Amino acid sequence: MNENNKKIDLDPVEKDVEKKTSLRPQSLSEFIGQQFIKSNLEAYIESSKKRKKNLDHIILYGPPGLGKTSLAHIISNEKNVNFHSTSGPAFTKKGDLVTLLSNMMDGDILFIDEIHRLSPIIEETLYPAMEDYKCDYVIGSGPSARVVQISIEKFTLIGATTRLGLLSRPLRDRFGIPLQLSFYEPEDLMKIIILNSKKLKFLISEDSAYEIAKRSRGTPRIAIRLLKRIIDFSIVNEDDKIDLESAKKSLRKMKIDSEGLDEMDRKYMNCIAYDFHGGPVGIETLSAALLEHKDIIEDVIEPYLMQRGLVQRTSRGRILSQKGLEHLK
Ligand code: ADP
């Protein structure tokens, strides 16, 4: 597989389990936090229902695990339309996209995860499909090949990306509704943890849910993953409830520190602090030193560390802030 096409998926097993146990929120009212996005989406959905029109194309962007896929599902539930899901790297041939588009019904939602990984030729097929609901298709090959234009039903494309900047300008401009997801406050993550522990039928005290929330890097997927692992430890210890003490003990076992940083975060920060004397150090050098793919560093590790002010990005490279240095000590 081409290195650039590698799908970033921190925990595919976790995603799969979530699908099966339907931990995903099913409606906007079950979707916690991101108030600004929710109220705007509510208005767009209601307006489209009143006008009996389809929703405009939507692009959801932000770090992994913040709820982009969940929101796309919710939109299709709220609109009561079919949901077709795929991802940018999954398209190898133009024909795949044309087949998918020609099978859509009026109002259906096409969700493309990691849309920044679409190849240019697939992107070009999308432009007329998004704008005029038409696709060019080549029949035959060689000198006898001819291009036919097919009409497709009016669908809504929902794209999700961790990197809006990597989308080509023409593609970005075709999305009428851009929505940026941001990291969650601990109060919202606490609600998500309590809700999920109910779904998993395991008791948890409020203070321990808050403790886990504070250490979840502002990310629901991480909060849910930590909750599940803490439940594992509790079951092994024959505890019938998670309290503050047992939560802290399990978090220590998983090497999650008081800021919610894990071993990989600390390895990254230690590398800048000690191997490169606090920085600045370029991303390529860091990637080589950590033996970690550049995209993982930029998409998964850095956004939260930067949001917390532990690391800063300058024109000459990454540097560790005073706060970052103190945290390591
Ligand atoms: P993304 O597509 O941005 O990587 P997902 O939509 O897969 O993120 O979300 C990861 C998991 O976190 C979901 O399975 C869902 O259970 C949970 N989740 C995300 N956002 C919320 C939210 N706002 N409220 C409740 N659960 C959420």
Q: pLDDT for 204-255, tens place per residue? A: 999 999 999 999 999 999 999 999 999 999 999 999 999 999 999 999 999 9
Where residue 329 falls among pLDDT bands split at 50, 70, 90?
confident
Q: Do the Cβ atoms of 147 and 137 come closer than 8 Å?
A: yes
Dihedral Cα 279, 281, 283, 289, nearest 10 deg:
-90
Q: Is residue 162 flagged as an active site residue? A: yes
User: Given this model, what pLDDT does residue 18 score?
Assistant: 47
**Of 3 and 313, more confident:** 313
Which tokens sit at 258? Answer: 């008081």
pLDDT at 6: 34
Per annotation, catalytic residue among 108, 113, 188, 265: 113
| Dist. CA 141–CA 250, nearest whole Å | 61
Q: How does pLDDT run across 303-327, given as a tens digit for each residue?
A: 999 999 999 999 999 999 999 999 9
Active-site residue 318, yes or no?
no
For ligand 1, the distance from its centroid to the CA atom of residue 181, given in whole angstroms, is 11
Question: What's the token pair of residue 2?
Answer: 């081409």
- Res. 111: pLDDT tops 90: yes
Work out the pLDDT band at 10, boundaries 50, 70, 90: very low
Contact yes or no for 158/57 (Cβ under 8 A): yes
Higher per-residue confidence, 168 vs 142: 168
User: Residue range 155-167: average pLDDT?
Assistant: 96
Distance from residue 68's CA to the centre of ligand 1 (Å): 7
pLDDT in tens, 37-47: 999 999 999 99
> How far is ligand 1, taken at its centre, from the CA of residue 275, in Å?
36
**pLDDT > 90? residue 142:** no
State the pLDDT at residue 140: 80
Closest CA to 136 of 150, 122, 126, 123: 150
Please count the residues of the chain: 329
Out of 117, 215, 221, 308, the active site residue is 221
| Atom 19 of ligand 1: nearest residue by CA position | 67
Cβ–Cβ under 8 Å, residues 164 and 61: yes
255 catalytically annotated: no
> Ligand 1: residues within 6 Å at CB?
18, 23-25, 31-34, 64-70, 160, 192, 220-221, 224
Q: Which band of pLDDT confidence, cut at 50, 70 and 90, is reported for residue 13?
A: very low
Q: Please name every residue paired with 85 in a beta bridge, in sequence order, or none if there are none.
A: 111
- Ligand 1 atom nearest to 181, measured from its CA: 3
Range name among 148-152, 207-211, 245-249, 272-276 with the lowest pLDDT average: 148-152
Q: Residues 132-152: what's their mean pLDDT? A: 87
| Residue from 37, 180, 221 whose mutation best tests the ligand 1 pocket (most atoms within 8 A of CB) | 221
How much distance in Å is there from the Cα of 242 to the middle of ligand 1? Answer: 22
The region, left, alpha or beta by phi > 0 then psi within -120 to 50, assigned to residue 173 is alpha
Say whether pLDDT at 16 is over 70: no
pLDDT of residue 12: 40
Q: How far apart are CA 116 and CA 172, in angstroms?
A: 10
Given the CA of residue 63, which atom of ligand 1 is nearest to it? 3
Burial of 54 (0-12, 13-18, 19+ CB in 10 A): middle
Q: How far apart are CA 206 and CA 201, in angstroms?
A: 15
Q: Atom 13 in ligand 1: which residue has the minimum CA distance?
A: 24
Distance 145 CA to ligand 1 centre (A): 45
Asked if 89 and 117 touch (Cβ cutoff 8 Å), the reply is: yes
Residue 114 backbone phi and psi in degrees, to 5 = 50, 50
| Confidence category of residue 147, pLDDT binned at 50, 70, 90 | confident
pLDDT attached to residue 2:
38
